[in-house]
Amino acid sequence: MAKNNSLHPNSNGETDDSPNMLVYRKMEDVIARMQDEKNGIPIRTVKSFLSKIPSVFSGSDIVQWLLKNLCIEDQVEALHLGTLMAAHGYFFPISDHVLTLKDDGTFYRFQTPYFWPSNCWEPENTDYAVYLCKRTMQNKARLELADYEAESLARLQRAFARKWEFIFMQAEAQAKVDKKRDKIERKILDSQERAFWDVHRPVPGCVNTTEVDIKKSSRMKNPHKTRKSVYGLQNDIRSHSPTHTPAPEAKQPTEEELREQIKFGQAQLDRHRLKMSKVAESLLSYTEQYSDYDPFLSTPDPSNPWISDDTTLWEMEASKEPGQTRVRRWGFGINEVLKDPVGREQFLKFLESEFSSENLRFWLAVQELKRRPIREVPTRVQEIWEEFLAPGAPSAINVDSKSYDKTTQNVKDPGRYAFEDAQEHIYKLMKSDSYSRFIRSSAYQELLQAKKKKSKNLF
């Protein structure tokens, strides 16, 4: 995968761009292709009444182009992608404030790169006020303010009452400049300016695509890249292009950090790496084994409570009577037995019948210890030690000498993980010994073959 330099994390691990920049670049790549002279969307000027509609293409043109050029399967997906790009303001319907894509003859126009979201626009309300004010000075019917715009203007007039004269003057100056432009050019620029504001001050009820996740917005990394001033009212702090900002000075690692990096790197290099073919095999067999239990792949028995509204399945799960499918799952591995409370119960029952339950009881006790409140831990550690490991313990378990020594030490300063080594050893023992005996036992086999108990009428 080619790594675009301005996107590759620098040695601090931080990219220079806002979280959305990657997405904007992707959309802009598509736009560039759409605007390509040879293979892009055909743009034309349409005659209408006494005037011309310059530089437009239809919604269907866009949908067709997307279907043909982007490996999109169906019209729904094309509309979805197109609407996304319209909502971000890359192209817009010339006669509507609502930025969606329609698969019909509705006319659309491209947005000028000056107004693209990748320029990190955060236009201020003063600019919006100038814009709305300017619109009222242009007495063409098509430029009349929509209801929500008129409301916004009224609100802004109240908010900026003190500097309204200044705003009015700016609007007048803008309107004067606009009048001098070529008529066709004006049409295009007006519509692009309106589309810009449709993105940043959307119609009430429409999604505001400039909304940023609060997790990202609190990372104000590059305030100097934000463009705030549309009409030159504030000092535009930005002095250089957003795509060529020099990277912030990379922090040099300290000696300590380098040592850690090397140690970590060494450990990584030494680790055993499983071959991809084995990994694939393992993933495939896991999903295969569990597909019978995945309600998205196999229909649950008796029914999925979300579809049938029948909660029998949940009641069965809660009951102590394990169904056949549940029992079969215990055979997948020791973890499945230990995970299921009924499984644990059956496993314990079987081991008790063989007078070899101390391993499982120890394992369960240690698991329970890890969930205890910290003040109860020291006493519990002592109890477990006495029961399972101390010389002459009533339920003595067999641990290797290394783990035994380590545990003896840990018990002197008891914490939640005092028995970790011993527990790991016992787990391995159970896995190879007790568990396999359980699965082969007649008790388990009977549960597996269990026929539905017929309720006997005793009276």
Partner 1 sequence: MGEMEQMKKEAETLKTQIEAARKAANDTDMASAASGVAPAPRVQLKTRKTLKGHLAKIYAMHWSTDNRLMVSASQDGKLLIWDSHSGNKVNAVPLKSSWVMTCAYAPSGNLVASGGLDNMCTVYNLKTPVIKTVKELDAHTGYLSCTRFLSDTEILTASGDTTCALWDLETGKQKTVFLNHVGDCMCLSLSPDMNSFVSGACDSLAKLWDIRDGQCKQTFQGHTSDINAISFFPSGNAIITGSDDCACKMYDLRADQEVICYQDAALNSGVTSLALSLSGRLIFAGYDDFNCNIWDSLKGEKVGVLSGHDNRVSCTGVPPDGMCVCTGSWDSFLKIWN
CB of 17 closer than 8 Å to CB of 224: no
317 touches partner 1 (CB under 8 A)? yes
454 touches partner 1 (CB under 8 A)? no
CA distance to 14, 68, 215, 228, per residue, from 220 (Å): 12, 40, 11, 15
Shortest CB 209 distance to partner 1, Å: 9
Shortest CB 261 distance to partner 1, Å: 5
211 touches partner 1 (CB under 8 A)? yes
The pairs formed by 210-219 with CB atoms below 8 angstroms and a separation of 24 or more are 210/117, 210/121, 210/122, 212/19, 212/20, 213/19, 216/18, 216/19, 219/19
Which tokens go with 368?
Answer: 């329970």
Nearer to partner 1, 3 or 456 (CB): 3
| Greatest distance between any 2 Cα atoms in the chain | 106
Task: DSSP letter for 56, please.
Answer: E
Residue whose C-alpha is closest to residue 384's, from 405, 355, 354, 415: 415
Find the binder of partner 1 among 40, 52, 77, 226 (CB under 8 A).
Answer: 77
Shortest CB 129 distance to partner 1, Å: 27
215 touches partner 1 (CB under 8 A)? yes
Shortest CB 433 distance to partner 1, Å: 20
100: exposed, middle or buried (Cβ count in 10 Å: 0-12, 13-18, 19+)? middle
Nearer to partner 1, 163 or 219 (CB): 219
Q: Rounded CA gap, 176 and 205, in Å? A: 34
Shortest CB 306 distance to partner 1, Å: 5
Q: Rounded CA gap, 342 and 351, in Å? A: 14
Find the binder of partner 1 among 44, 80, 155, 179 (CB under 8 A).
Answer: 80
Handedness of CA 137, 140, 141, 145 (dihedral sign): negative
Beta strands in 27-84 (DSSP E): 44-48, 51-58
Find the binder of partner 1 among 279, 302, 432, 450 (CB under 8 A).
Answer: 279
Shortest CB 125 distance to partner 1, Å: 22
Size of the site for partner 1 (CB under 8 A): 86
Beta bridge partners of 91: 110
271 touches partner 1 (CB under 8 A)? yes
Nearer to partner 1, 50 or 214 (CB): 214
Task: DSSP letter for 418, please.
Answer: T
Task: DSSP letter for 248, please.
Answer: P
Q: Rounded CA gap, 122 and 312, in Å? A: 55
Shortest CB 72 distance to partner 1, Å: 5
Nearer to partner 1, 163 or 372 (CB): 372
Q: Where does this chain touch partner 1 (CB under 8 A) — which range of 112-120, 148-156, 366-374, 437-445? A: 366-374
Q: Where does this chain touch partner 1 (CB under 8 A) — which range of 144-152, 252-260, 351-359, 428-436? A: 252-260
H/E run at residue 110: strand 107-110
68 touches partner 1 (CB under 8 A)? no
Nearer to partner 1, 183 or 320 (CB): 320
Q: Annotate 72-91 with DSSP letters as a single string.
A: --SHHHHHHHHHHHHHTTSE
Q: Where does this chain touch partner 1 (CB under 8 A) — which range of 64-72, 164-172, 236-244, 379-387? A: 64-72
Find the binder of partner 1 among 44, 219, 224, 349 (CB under 8 A).
Answer: 219
Name which of residues 375 to 394 contact partner 1 (CB under 8 A).
375
Name which of residues 30 to 49 contact partner 1 (CB under 8 A).
30
Name which of residues 332 to 351 contact partner 1 (CB under 8 A).
335
Find the binder of partner 1 among 125, 234, 243, 311 (CB under 8 A).
Answer: 311
304 touches partner 1 (CB under 8 A)? yes
Q: Give exposure, 265-275, as e/b (b: 16+ Cβ within 10 Å).
A: eeeeeeeeeee
Shortest CB 56 distance to partner 1, Å: 23
